[in-house]
A = this chain, B = another copy of it.
């Protein structure tokens, strides 16, 4: 996606009312060339005063680059599955906890205002190793909290979570680490994305990762696809009377720069296709 298209897309999302956007990843350009322009994208995003600019970083080196670029929040993926951890970042889980501790230390030294989030990948299951033990997920969350991160979220990287599991695991996460319990990052791989978001909401989660048009996946998790569609998620909450601050017609309009920037990429979303119901008003 050309840098200009990324800028236009961010502008459209901000115009729709989004106040936190993960604009890219600080990863080596030789591994993910599509992220080579991350500094320029961050610089543009920072020109929007009301926006919290967030980026993914896989390690200390990425975090230092993100701090230097002025990013306001970073998110690190730490896998609950050892197999996915090795495939995704070529480190064991224990090594990743050490890496996160080093990032938190660097943050304290050089960028104390930056929020550090960890999303626990494959928290609900893994395409590589299958079942993931819930106790291990919670142990990992406790270790990350002890390492000093500000938020620990749970990610259904490969779309295997179900509502009962989402309720149970987020409830346990909150008992384990209290107010550090963070976002629900849920995929729609098997169509359960919104049901899982509802389940998380029911047990007190109020931060949800989503992507416009359901764009997404993970290059290192076979079969991973389809983040929760932002448009449908916002429609669900607004319909329920939950104020999201997002203007739905403008959010749907933000699909246009995405489409232009990534021609040929399939873009999902039932609400944009069906349109808003007759008489529907954002909260």
Q: Which residues of A contact B (CB under 8 A)?
A: 125-127, 130-131, 158-160, 162-165, 188-192, 194-195, 197-199, 202, 223, 225-226, 229, 232, 235-236, 239-241, 269-271, 274-275, 277-280
Verify B127–A277 contact, CB threshold 8 A: yes
Which among B195, B235, B240, B271 is the interface contact of A198 at CB below 8 angstroms? B195
Which among B165, B189, B280 is the interface contact of A274 at CB below 8 angstroms? B189
Alpha-carbon separation in the docked complex, A277 to B127 (Å): 7
With a cutoff of 8 Å between Cβ atoms, the chain B residues found around residue A192 in the complex are 194, 232, 235-236, 239, 270
Alpha-carbon separation in the docked complex, A209 to B197 (Å): 22
With a cutoff of 8 Å between Cβ atoms, the chain B residues found around residue A125 in the complex are 277-278
With a cutoff of 8 Å between Cβ atoms, the chain B residues found around residue A275 in the complex are 223
Verify B190–A270 contact, CB threshold 8 A: yes
With a cutoff of 8 Å between Cβ atoms, the chain B residues found around residue A191 in the complex are 194, 229, 232, 235-236, 269-271
Verify B225–A130 contact, CB threshold 8 A: no
Verify B278–A190 contact, CB threshold 8 A: no
Task: Apart from A162-B236, A162-B240, A191-B194, list 20 A-B contacts with CB within 8 A.
Answer: A130-B278, A162-B239, A163-B198, A164-B240, A165-B240, A188-B270, A189-B270, A190-B270, A190-B277, A191-B232, A191-B235, A191-B270, A192-B194, A192-B239, A194-B194, A198-B198, A198-B199, A223-B275, A225-B274, A226-B270
With a cutoff of 8 Å between Cβ atoms, the chain B residues found around residue A159 in the complex are 274, 277
With a cutoff of 8 Å between Cβ atoms, the chain B residues found around residue A270 in the complex are 188-192, 226
**Closest B residue, CB atoms, query A236:** B192
